[in-house]
A and B are shown apart, each in its own frame.
Chain A
């Protein structure tokens, strides 16, 4: 039995009167690569953002290992919002890469990568710099260490953002449509880095529109629609013989 890394139970979330997550269950095992697909507005990004509590879910539970994310149980068993410091601590165990990169524009690439290790984890500067250099080398940016993000292409910015997330030595990496904002010719270089990461055994949750990536790299694919988990299975099963008509319809539309 493989170790469970992230466990979600009946996760619900509303924005005002609109319910975007209608009770999601999910187990992600250590070393697994899970791709989440589905039409826009299906709640997949919101679900991912609930995992590291950038978005607070309203109901249900999300666990990272044996740590409940964002809430603690009161004496009566009810969930109450956790202390900010504890929420920050559990977030630091997960890396996140977002669609718009969100590098810090007032810092060089290297400073972006060492910021978390030095400020949040209080590691020694020399150690953080050494690790940052090796991470930037790994994502193919060793020539761009001292430049500012605005001078980088979208693909380079996204690879720098991946290095920044990895610098925290996360237990799991969350990717929120990491290639959606990229010019088509730059998508490949980012996916290559993610492929290498998956091959190294990193646990990854990837919200994506890149069906080829989901098919080739993911261990399992979860289809979401209208705030529900439609189905979850191996890529072979999802892409060749989906059990739900909604999945078949969606794939037919995006794969054409």
Chain B
């Protein structure tokens, strides 16, 4: 079978890909910011001795981990306005939705990371008179964060790929732009190939940097 590849078409429409990549990057940025902030709070709440903090955090985390991200996005976009009157734009819905989704996973990463630090470190911090928050900030988290880097990068890479779900809400991220292009050019193979390469080009450097960082920190510990 002979198929003639026409990558020239993709090059002609490069502006479309760049536009899509920018939206993908924006969604990733906001989702990561929300995910990290809320995730840290959730992770710490879930370790609390107080059930009033622990229970809501556990409920949130398990709810978001056990339901499909696509359903979460659709739900936030269509149901939130009905229930609260709060209508977010489609891009904002995806950013917030993926942010909440990521928070559930980041929260578990934080919790596992903090739990992995030996009890002796808490003892040593408390023995010199540190409060809970001083111990956490100065002693526990700096050590725990190093151990969180590999699972965090995993989650971050999958978060970038989850932004493609935005196409379901008509957000002009990479996948949606690519699909539109396919409809007008009938060149799905070329366009999806370039799309895959585009994601690899975004994600691989992050994975590489994290591996370097991990190795550097290992030398120190």
**Which residues in A have some Cβ–Cβ distance to B below 8 Å?**
52, 54, 84-85, 88-89, 91-92, 94-96, 98, 100, 102-106, 115-116, 119-121, 148, 150, 161, 164-165, 168
Complex-state Cα separation, A54 to B123, whole angstroms: 7
Complex-state Cα separation, A82 to B131, whole angstroms: 13
Shortest CB-to-CB span from A15 to chain B, Å, is 14
Nearest opposing residue in chain B for A176, CB measure: B123
B52 within 8 A of A: no
Complex-state Cα separation, A85 to B132, whole angstroms: 9
Given contacts A104-B139, A105-B221, A120-B134, contact A92 B129 (CB under 8 A): yes
A89 touches B129 (CB 8 A): yes
A85 touches B131 (CB 8 A): yes
Given contacts A98-B120, A98-B123, A106-B142, contact A120 B130 (CB under 8 A): yes
Chain B residue contacts of A164, Cβ below 8 A:
128
B120 touches A102 (CB 8 A): yes
B126 touches A91 (CB 8 A): yes
B215 within 8 A of A: no
Query: Interface of chain A, helix or strand or loop or mixed?
Result: mixed
Chain A residue contacts of B125, Cβ below 8 A:
104
Looking at B126, B127, B138, B146, the one whose CB has the most chain A CB atoms below 10 A away is B127
A104 touches B131 (CB 8 A): no
A119 touches B138 (CB 8 A): yes
- 8 Å CB contact of B130 from A88, A105, A150: A88
Given contacts A89-B129, A168-B129, contact A148 B124 (CB under 8 A): no
Nearest opposing residue in chain B for A90, CB measure: B129
Q: Mark B131-149, 1 if CB is under 8 A from A, else 0.
A: 1101000110011001000
Shortest CB-to-CB span from A124 to chain B, Å, is 17
Looking at A85, A103, A120, A150, the one whose CB has the most chain B CB atoms below 10 A away is A120
Complex-state Cα separation, A165 to B128, whole angstroms: 7
Complex-state Cα separation, A90 to B131, whole angstroms: 12
Looking at A84, A95, A105, A121, the one whose CB has the most chain B CB atoms below 10 A away is A105
Complex-state Cα separation, A168 to B220, whole angstroms: 26
B87 within 8 A of A: no
Given contacts A105-B143, A106-B142, contact A91 B124 (CB under 8 A): no
B121 within 8 A of A: yes
Complex-state Cα separation, A29 to B121, whole angstroms: 30
Complex-state Cα separation, A179 to B108, whole angstroms: 37
- 8 Å CB contact of B129 from A88, A102, A161: A88
16 sample A-B contacts, Cβ–Cβ < 8 Å, listed by A number:
A54-B123, A54-B127, A88-B129, A88-B130, A92-B129, A102-B118, A102-B121, A103-B124, A105-B143, A105-B221, A106-B142, A106-B221, A115-B128, A116-B129, A119-B130, A168-B128
Complex-state Cα separation, A115 to B118, whole angstroms: 19
Chain A residue contacts of B220, Cβ below 8 A:
106, 148
Given contacts A98-B120, A119-B134, A148-B220, contact A106 B143 (CB under 8 A): yes
Nearest opposing residue in chain B for A84, CB measure: B131
Nearest opposing residue in chain A for B131, CB measure: A88
Given contacts A102-B120, A106-B220, A115-B138, contact A96 B131 (CB under 8 A): no
Q: Mark B162-182, 1 if CB is under 8 A from A, else 0.
A: 000000000000000000000
Complex-state Cα separation, A164 to B121, whole angstroms: 14
Shortest CB-to-CB span from A77 to chain B, Å, is 27
Shortest CB-to-CB span from B141 to chain A, Å, is 10
Complex-state Cα separation, A193 to B36, whole angstroms: 46
